[in-house]
Amino acid sequence: MPVSKKRKKPSKPNAAAKAARLRAQRPVESMMDVDSRVRTDRERFDAARREASVAPAAALVAELTALAASRSDVELADELCARLGPLLSELDARKPVTRMISPDIFAGALAQAATANDGPDAPRVLSALAGVLPQSFTGAAAPPVGETRWTRDRYGSRYGITASFPAGDGERWYLWDVDTCALLVATVHSGFYPTAEDALAAWQQGVGEFAAAGTTWGEIDDRALLRKLLPVSEGDLRMGGETADQFAEYHRCRRLAESLLQLPAPPPAEPADAASLFSAWLTERGTTLSTDDVHDVAASLTEIWGGARDISFDTFSPHRVAYTKQYVHDDYDEAYGSLLLATLPEWIRWLASTTGAEPELLDRALEAVETAVYDDNPLACVVE
């Protein structure tokens, strides 16, 4: 008999049931009324946040103006980012949530403060902001980009992307360390390095010796995939959980990504029919599951594994395995979830068979089915 595929349904405690009865006795608002009230509240909260961001933004602009005479343009931009890290971290952690100031709200206040600044070095401060804040805040053209390269770890789900940008009389290389193991693509580390080799070494250290072994920079040969990997301004859809170091480069990693995103990209290819291919592979191996269960499990694992953007679908790092286990635990009832987790090793073996993965990669992924625990912070920099 097929196992029913059920999502978890939260149970209602007595207090929740009582609240539901009280709500049922109140006049019913139309969806238009509810939407209007929510929008009004949101506009009021955002206006208060913008007002609260004026003072810290003006203070930061004043600090940068005072420093400008003793700093080069590159140093001034780096100083801006260094100060944004702890400041954005503090603003983002304010309680209650209605007092929290998001990176984008603060960026708007910062751009306004810099425009209103009339100090002798005001143009240089404004120029530094234009090189760090995304174009929507300053209107400035994206910085010119030089060489671009990328690499990926042995599992294929962790990417390093680097590009050279002008820096005084020379150039330096910006690194994006991108993890695609969970539901959303996450830039877990970014920053400037003196050379491409330095950027590669930093990325390898973040990924870990095992997963990064033998990796080198190569030509970026898939512009459509690159567009899915690079960070963009998220507004209210930001994942959250950034560290102070990640906040330091929060805006600049998106600003510099705009330069790469302007490069032409071909139309994306259609995704492979993974569910039917895995169903056929599993049936061929003599599974004990019923035909209905095979198709249900294959469809569910395909949906979970694909995440939000279907990036690195054929990869199976321990981090991705840990995420899948947590997702199944959170989203499915015990019976169907147990069926998915029992089939997960076969799913991993199938992926390995389609990619010709090294046996030691497969062994570590299978071990992760039993031992891996997912870090709930999607921006955690995980050593594989």
Nearest C-alpha neighbor of 230 from the set 140, 160, 310, 315: 160
Pairing type for strands 218-219 and 186-193 reads unpaired
Binning the chain into helix, strand and coil, the percentages to the nearest 5 are 60, 10, 35
What does the pLDDT read at residue 351? 87
What does the pLDDT read at residue 267? 47
Half-sphere exposure of 55 (CA within 13 A, CB side): 5
Nearest C-alpha neighbor of 236 from the set 349, 92, 374, 346: 92
What does the pLDDT read at residue 10? 46
What does the pLDDT read at residue 127? 95
d(CA 197, CA 306): 32
Q: Is the dihedral of CA 83, 231, 318, 303 positive or negative?
A: positive
207, containing H or E segment: helix 196-207
What's the token pair of residue 45? 């909260």
DSSP lists the bridge partners of residue 165 as 172
- CA 12 vs. chain centroid, Å, equals 33
d(CA 378, CA 187): 9
Radius of gyration of the chain (CA): 24
What does the pLDDT read at residue 8? 56
End-to-end CA, the chain: 39
pTM: 0.74
Residue the block writes with tokens 């469809």 = 299
Pairing type for strands 148-152 and 218-219 reads antiparallel
The angle at the Cα of 229, spanning 93 to 379, to the nearest 5 degrees, equals 30
What does the pLDDT read at residue 42? 74
What does the pLDDT read at residue 277? 87
What does the pLDDT read at residue 33? 64
pLDDT tens-digit profile, the chain (384 residues): 555 555 554 444 555 555 555 555 555 556 566 666 667 777 888 899 999 999 999 999 999 999 999 999 999 999 999 999 999 999 999 988 888 999 999 999 999 999 998 888 999 999 999 999 999 999 998 889 999 999 999 999 999 999 999 998 999 999 999 999 988 899 999 999 999 999 999 999 999 999 999 999 999 988 889 999 999 987 767 888 999 999 999 999 999 999 998 876 544 444 568 888 888 888 888 888 888 888 999 999 988 887 756 677 888 999 999 999 999 999 999 999 999 999 999 999 988 888 778 889 999 999 999 988 888 787 888 887
DSSP lists the bridge partners of residue 150 as 161, 218
Give pLDDT tens digits for 235-249: 767 888 999 999 999
3-state secondary structure 141-193: CCCCCCCEEEEECCCCCEEEEEEEEEECCEEEEEEEEEECCCCCCEEEEEEEE
DSSP lists the bridge partners of residue 166 as 171
Q: Share the mean pLDDT of the chain.
A: 87
Annotated domain spans of the chain:
37-138, 148-261, 274-371
What does the pLDDT read at residue 146? 92
